[in-house]
A and B are shown apart, each in its own frame.
Chain A
Amino acid sequence: MINFQRLEEVDGPITLLGESFSNETISDKILSNSRFYKCEFENIIFDNVVFRKSEFSLCRFQNCQILGSDLTRVEFSNSSFTSCEFQQVDLSGSLFSKVELSETKFEGILLIGSILSDLKIRNTRFHDLQFSETYPVRINKLKKVREVRDSSSFQEILADFYLE
């Protein structure tokens, strides 16, 4: 960790580069339209945080909990989640591109029109996911797009992304 800034001090949309955060509970915050580049989050609890339309690029999340938060249209690219937990999170319209999920749990997630592209998954659990018939989840792998409208096909398709 290079810096130990407090994310709680952050207000409104921000653009951060190369910051590190750890051991914090962030609740009831609106951080929509923020941009985080090369940031690290460790032991952070995000509770009822709005990250709508925010971007996370080259970021690393470790032992983080994202609870009851709005992550609609959030974009994660070239980032990783290790031992993290998403609970009651709205991930509609979100984009996970080249994201590594490891030992991570997703529960009670809204996945309307989300896009998962070139994921790498290891020991990750998905439970109680909500899909849309009109706006299926699109899963891209090597430029092939597959649409998912229900939980079973989601699990089936996602199996392709699992790493040994």
Chain B
Amino acid sequence: MSKKQNDLFTILLFSIFCLVKPVSYDEMVSRHRIYSQETELVHKKCSNLKDFVLSVPDELELLEKSNEIILPKIINADIKAIEEVKEISSNKDENFELKKKAKTNIKTRLGTDSIFVEGWSQIRTFPARPRLNYYDSVEQRIVRPRLLFQAHLTCNSEQNKLPRKITKQDKTVKFKKNFRKIFNENYEVFGYNLYLEEDLSKNASKKEVIKAKDNLWKKYKSASQEYLRENLFRNPCIIKSEKCKYLDTSDYVTIYYNQLTDLFAIVNQKSNCLLDFGIATKVKYAEIFAYKSSGSLKATDICLSPNEKLEENSDIDELLQINPSSTPSREFPKSKQPPRQGQSSDYSKYPQSKKKKLIAESGLPLDAQQKLLKNPELLELSIDPRSARSDKIDKQSFDEAESILQLQKETGLFEGVRRANTTEKIEWDIDFILSGSRYDEADIKTPTSFYDSRKGPKKPIPQDLLDYLARESGAKSIAQKIGSKRCLHVLDLKDIQPHQKEAYKANFLQGAREADPVLAEHIIVQNE
């Protein structure tokens, strides 16, 4: 073999070796979008569809450098709160070391410490929280939670185009450990209190609002440190945008933003000091990420309102059925483990004929029966094993099942739900057992504003009595679950007449707050 042939052979061998060389996972990640690090991270922590949507890699395009971002002043900036959290800057050196360490552990497609995605040319306005009714000041009407949720999903997909990086746990910003309890047990407290503030401000004087805010911060400012630590700085699935500009600061800031909870925090990059934080409820939170380079915001760039976008999201219902099986869940005893969506559940034990019989015997209206036939999960959850007659569906249990599934769909607050297991004494008084959530159980209230008049058709309950009943119901709802801080209270107003809903809700919440203001924060109102 000549030298030339020998060389050619060596090259050939080397090429073959290169072709068949085992590829590490990291290399796959770097080569193929389908293995993107971001997708992996999100899937690991997906607690609901919103994260899942976020993880869709189609819209991800790489950029090699970050962009400067200008940030408008955001509501909820509270001077006292800022002062309170300035302590985080004191351990700067130690934090810096941690930061370096964290960086070296992150592997991405680019081999750098972050993943950047394509920039965004438009500014969109979206309400954020699906949990609460939202007053759209432009539309001048209340936006229903479902609408919000869809808007939220739209926003999520739009945000995939924003410059960002999803980091692993960021321990560079630290808080004291003294206040773990309150916020760990009151996941919604932040948003809820913010809502109260806003609600209050509609009717109250400026002085009263300031006073209410003062009280609010007095109660929660310390706890919020811990909350931020857990939900932003140690959350691996948050958007972190660096080198942003905050309007009235001279240094760059880093924005931490949690799409799931809409919680954001703005940290001064130089001093590592928290400047502002809150929940982006009525904020045009896309503006958080507005480009400095794009100049001032143009009105024309602020595009469709959520309802205009609804038609484009007609496939949302289909998407909502998706529930990543890889999602980790909070630990549950085996016997208590609720079934996940997609897993075989109890309803599979019923043959078709039995199902039909059950439904026919339920005495429910036809449309409800059809829903049960079409949706096996609804059927399963409509059978309350605690009823006197087993395997019987009644209106109450059907309503409860419908409510809990609606809630799951609209908020993604939990992944799995099942009825209580009657063999477990521990579950005997629980409407639903939840999984993949900070809540262990859910208690559903489905009040009605009509009563049976046996001398004629149903009649509305007089307003004064209904007000009283609502207050009582709120108080009872809390009293029944005293000591159970992991209970999600759901008030479903679908059977309350439209013009009475607001009053009912207000009275119910009032009664609940009077019974226990802390537990009352775990009430979610549906079909308002």
Partners in one complex: yes
Instruction: Name A's B-contacting residues (CB within 8 A).
Output: 5, 9, 12-17, 19, 30, 32-33, 35, 37-38, 50, 52-53, 57, 70, 72-73, 75, 77-78, 92-93, 95, 97, 112-113, 115, 117, 132, 134-135, 138, 140, 145
B504 to A: closest C-beta gap in Å: 14
Contact assessment for A134 and B425 in the assembled complex, using a CB-CB cutoff below 8 Å: yes
A124 to B: closest C-beta gap in Å: 21
A-B contact pairs, 18 of them (CB 8 A): A5-B454, A9-B454, A12-B394, A13-B394, A14-B452, A16-B451, A33-B395, A38-B465, A50-B388, A57-B469, A57-B472, A72-B429, A75-B480, A92-B428, A97-B475, A115-B479, A134-B426, A140-B482
Q: Which residue among A13, A17, A37, A77 has the maximum number of chain B CB atoms within 10 Å of its CB?
A: A17
Q: Output the nearest chain B residue to A112 by Cβ-Cβ distance.
A: B428
In the complex, B111 has a CB within 8 A of chain A = no
Q: Output the nearest chain A residue to B450 by Cβ-Cβ distance.
A: A15
In the complex, B387 has a CB within 8 A of chain A = yes
Contact assessment for A15 and B479 in the assembled complex, using a CB-CB cutoff below 8 Å: no
B320 to A: closest C-beta gap in Å: 29
Partner of A30, one of B389, B452, B475, B483: B389
Contact assessment for A77 and B429 in the assembled complex, using a CB-CB cutoff below 8 Å: no
In the complex, B448 has a CB within 8 A of chain A = yes
Residues of B within 8 A of A35 (CB): 448, 451
A17 to B: closest C-beta gap in Å: 4
**What 3 pairs between A and B have smallest CB-CB spacing?**
A33-B396, A93-B429, A17-B451
Alpha-carbon gap, A19 to B429, bound state (A): 29
A134 to B: closest C-beta gap in Å: 7
In the complex, B33 has a CB within 8 A of chain A = no
* Supplied contacts A17-B459, A53-B396, 4 more A-B pairs, CB within 8 Å: A17-B453, A17-B461, A30-B389, A138-B482
Contact assessment for B454 and A95 in the assembled complex, using a CB-CB cutoff below 8 Å: no
A4 to B: closest C-beta gap in Å: 12
Alpha-carbon gap, A38 to B461, bound state (A): 11
In the complex, B282 has a CB within 8 A of chain A = no
Q: Which residue among B395, B450, B451, B459 has the maximum number of chain A CB atoms within 10 Å of its CB?
A: B451
Contact assessment for A13 and B428 in the assembled complex, using a CB-CB cutoff below 8 Å: no
Alpha-carbon gap, A93 to B428, bound state (A): 9
Residues of B within 8 A of A117 (CB): 479
Residues of B within 8 A of A14 (CB): 452
Residues of A within 8 A of B469 (CB): 37, 57
Q: Output the nearest chain B residue to A33 by Cβ-Cβ distance.
A: B396
Contact assessment for A33 and B394 in the assembled complex, using a CB-CB cutoff below 8 Å: yes
Q: Which residue among A13, A32, A38, A50 has the maximum number of chain B CB atoms within 10 Å of its CB?
A: A32
Q: Which residue among B363, B425, B429, B461 has the maximum number of chain A CB atoms within 10 Å of its CB?
A: B429
In the complex, B386 has a CB within 8 A of chain A = yes
B321 to A: closest C-beta gap in Å: 30
Contact assessment for A37 and B461 in the assembled complex, using a CB-CB cutoff below 8 Å: yes
Number of residues on chain B facing chain A (CB within 8 A): 29
Residues of A within 8 A of B92 (CB): none
A19 to B: closest C-beta gap in Å: 8
A116 to B: closest C-beta gap in Å: 10
Contact assessment for B472 and A16 in the assembled complex, using a CB-CB cutoff below 8 Å: no
Given A33-B396, A145-B482, A17 and B388 contact (CB-CB distance below 8 Å): no
Contact assessment for A140 and B479 in the assembled complex, using a CB-CB cutoff below 8 Å: yes
Given A77-B476, A95-B479, A32 and B448 contact (CB-CB distance below 8 Å): no
Contact assessment for A52 and B388 in the assembled complex, using a CB-CB cutoff below 8 Å: yes
Contact assessment for B429 and A37 in the assembled complex, using a CB-CB cutoff below 8 Å: no
Contact assessment for A75 and B476 in the assembled complex, using a CB-CB cutoff below 8 Å: yes
Alpha-carbon gap, A113 to B389, bound state (A): 22
Residues of B within 8 A of A53 (CB): 396
Q: Output the nearest chain A residue to B389 by Cβ-Cβ distance.
A: A30
Residues of B within 8 A of A17 (CB): 451, 453, 459, 461, 465
B123 to A: closest C-beta gap in Å: 49
A145 to B: closest C-beta gap in Å: 6
Partner of A15, one of B363, B394, B426, B448: B448
Residues of B within 8 A of A52 (CB): 386-388
Q: Output the nearest chain B residue to A9 by Cβ-Cβ distance.
A: B454
Alpha-carbon gap, A16 to B270, bound state (A): 67
Given A13-B395, A15-B452, A32-B394, A115 and B482 contact (CB-CB distance below 8 Å): yes
Contact assessment for B452 and A78 in the assembled complex, using a CB-CB cutoff below 8 Å: no
Residues of A within 8 A of B480 (CB): 73, 75, 93, 95, 115
Contact assessment for A113 and B429 in the assembled complex, using a CB-CB cutoff below 8 Å: yes
Q: Output the nearest chain A residue to B395 by Cβ-Cβ distance.
A: A13
Contact assessment for A32 and B465 in the assembled complex, using a CB-CB cutoff below 8 Å: no
Alpha-carbon gap, A70 to B429, bound state (A): 13
Residues of A within 8 A of B426 (CB): 134
B213 to A: closest C-beta gap in Å: 26
Q: Which of B439-489 contact A (CB under 8 A)?
A: 448, 450-454, 459, 461, 465, 469, 472, 475-476, 479-480, 482-483
A74 to B: closest C-beta gap in Å: 11
Contact assessment for A78 and B472 in the assembled complex, using a CB-CB cutoff below 8 Å: yes
Q: Output the nearest chain B residue to A50 by Cβ-Cβ distance.
A: B388
Q: Which residue among A15, A16, A132 has the maximum number of chain B CB atoms within 10 Å of its CB?
A: A15
Residues of B within 8 A of A19 (CB): 454
Alpha-carbon gap, A140 to B476, bound state (A): 12
Residues of A within 8 A of B451 (CB): 15-17, 35, 37
B402 to A: closest C-beta gap in Å: 15
Residues of A within 8 A of B452 (CB): 14-16
Alpha-carbon gap, A60 to B126, bound state (A): 52
B466 to A: closest C-beta gap in Å: 9
Given A12-B363, A15-B450, A78-B472, A32 and B396 contact (CB-CB distance below 8 Å): yes
Alpha-carbon gap, A140 to B482, bound state (A): 10
Alpha-carbon gap, A117 to B459, bound state (A): 31
Q: Which residue among B389, B426, B448, B465 has the maximum number of chain A CB atoms within 10 Å of its CB?
A: B465
Q: Output the nearest chain A residue to B458 by Cβ-Cβ distance.
A: A15
| Contact code string B390-428 (vs A, CB < 8 Å = 1, else 0) | 000011100000000000000000000000000001101
Alpha-carbon gap, A78 to B475, bound state (A): 12
Residues of A within 8 A of B387 (CB): 32, 52
Residues of A within 8 A of B386 (CB): 52, 72
